Amino acid sequence: MDRVLAQLRLYEHPLLEFGAQAKGDAVEVIINFKNPAVPVHTYYFDLHPRDLDHPQFEWTFQRQLYDCLHDYLIEMFTRTPQNRAERQREGL
């Protein structure tokens, strides 16, 4: 847990805040949007003991964090081209 919190302290973002909490023998990383004008969900991902013990933890952590940030931002879309029924209903 301390190792993850130490890594998270190295990241600062104007729109997002990061946290972590214990989850069994894993650590759950929390990504939350700061002061959203529109309410959005909080994003969670788990780091398992094998992730925490990886010899290149700092680099694998960064890759996983960036991958999850991408997923989080994509999940915030309220409409996409894949919403075909909605597009037809709204004449788009």
pTM: 0.81
For 6-29, how does the pLDDT look when each residue is reduced to its tens digit (9 = 90+)? Answer: 999 999 999 999 999 999 999 999
Do residues 30 and 43 make contact, with C-beta atoms less than 8 angstroms apart?
Answer: yes
Q: Would you state the pLDDT for residue 12? A: 95
C-alpha atoms less than 13 angstroms from C-alpha of 70 in its C-beta half-sphere: 6
Q: Would you state the pLDDT for residue 53? A: 94
Residue 51 is encoded by which pair of tokens?
């992730």
Task: Quote the domain boundaries for residue 27.
Answer: 2-90
Q: Would you state the pLDDT for residue 13? A: 95
Q: Would you state the pLDDT for residue 38? A: 86
The CA–CA distances, whole Å, from 52 to 33, 48, 65, 66 equal 25, 6, 13, 17
Q: Which segments in the chain show pLDDT lower than 50?
A: none
